[in-house]
Amino acid sequence: MRRWMALFIAALAIASGAIAQDAQLRRLESGADAAGWEAVGRLNIGGTGFCTGALIASNLVLTAGHCLFDKATGERIDHTRVEFLAGWRNGRASAYRNVRRAVIHPDYAHAGHASSEGVRNDLALLELNHPIRNGKIIPFETAARPRRGAKVGVVSYGTGRSEAPSLQELCSVLAQQDGLLVTSCSVEFGSSGAPIFVIDQGRAQIVSVVSAKAEVEGKAVSLGTSLGAPLARLQAELVAQRDDVSPRISGGTRRDTGAKFIKP
């Protein structure tokens, strides 16, 4: 299993203007296709690029830690210059929010390049300036990391598909190691922070967040950080930064809104 530590890894934050396309993903361009996925949104990063994020509470967005660092300088980005566009599709979002606070996992060290150690703690939690209370934008539950061989899916934005989210269903968990989740999901620059889902009894639950893409024996894979204890630590860090009471993230409040994997 240690061979996973020798992966060729590339961080997935994107600078504006890059061009690419991933034909393996299905764009969710219509309202019917995107139904149930509106809590996934594009994060515009200080006018220089974008990542993907997902609501896990009415005012909390989960994403990758490296999205909050300037790709050119390595400096921490002012989080007040980050905007969350929930359900961004074809020039419009279902909700627009700025970021009030942001916490990055305390053990994440931004090195300017992706590494196995960095991926392990590549997680950030953003508190929005106002909660999103919209009947069709329902925050996602989180769940324990899936076993090897489990079927997962990912909804993300990326180069060449920045104007609508794209869905890949039924990719597989290839391995787990030291807090890393290795999947066969297809991701591209801009997919950083994208939620990796399992579907449990008709409900989409986030089990990981995309951190990087990699290559093993000529095959593309994606890497994500496990949730559980790392997410709990982020929540505690956020509580420590503010005076008001943190909203609880419930494991059973999300309704079945019709979110589903669509066969391409």
Q: Average pLDDT, stretch 175-198?
A: 86
Q: Render pLDDT for 212-223 as a digit per residue (tens, 0 to 9).
A: 888 777 778 889
Distance, in Å, from the CA atom of 213 to the CA atom of 119, rounded to the nearest integer, reads 10
150: left (phi over 0), alpha (psi -120 to 50) or beta: beta
Q: What pLDDT band is residue 137 in, cutting at 50, 70 and 90?
A: very high
Contact of 64 with 123, CB cutoff 8 Å: yes
The pLDDT assigned to 179 comes to: 76
Which phi and psi angles does 45 have, rounded to 5°?
Answer: -100, 95
Q: For residue 6, is pLDDT > 70?
A: no
What does the mean pLDDT of the chain come to?
A: 81
Class of domain 2-241: mainly beta
Helix (H) or strand (E) holding 230: helix 229-241
Q: What one-character-per-residue DSSP string does 131-196 give?
A: ---BTTB-PPEE-PPPPTT-EEEEEEEETTEEEEEEEEEEEEEEEEETTEEEE-----TT-TTPEE
Q: What is the pLDDT of residues 78-110, one digit of tens each?
A: 999 999 999 999 999 999 999 999 999 998 888
pLDDT-wise least confident of 15-19, 22-26, 43-47, 152-156: 15-19
Q: Which of 205, 220, 226 is nearest to 152 (CA)?
A: 205
Across the range 187-197, mean pLDDT stands at 88
Asked if residues 140 and 54 have their Cβ atoms less than 8 Å apart, the reply is yes
In one-letter notation, the amino acid at residue 149 is G
Q: Which of these ranges, 5-14, 15-24, 152-161, 187-196, has the smallest mean pLDDT?
A: 15-24
Give the span between the Cα atoms of 10 and 107, in whole angstroms. Answer: 19
Query: What's the CA gap between 249 and 232, in Å, rounded?
Result: 10
Beta strand pairing status for 203-216 and 161-177? Answer: unpaired
Given a cut of 90, is residue 18 above it in pLDDT? no
Residue type, 99: V
Q: What is the pLDDT of residues 223-252, one digit of tens each?
A: 988 888 889 999 999 998 875 544 444 444
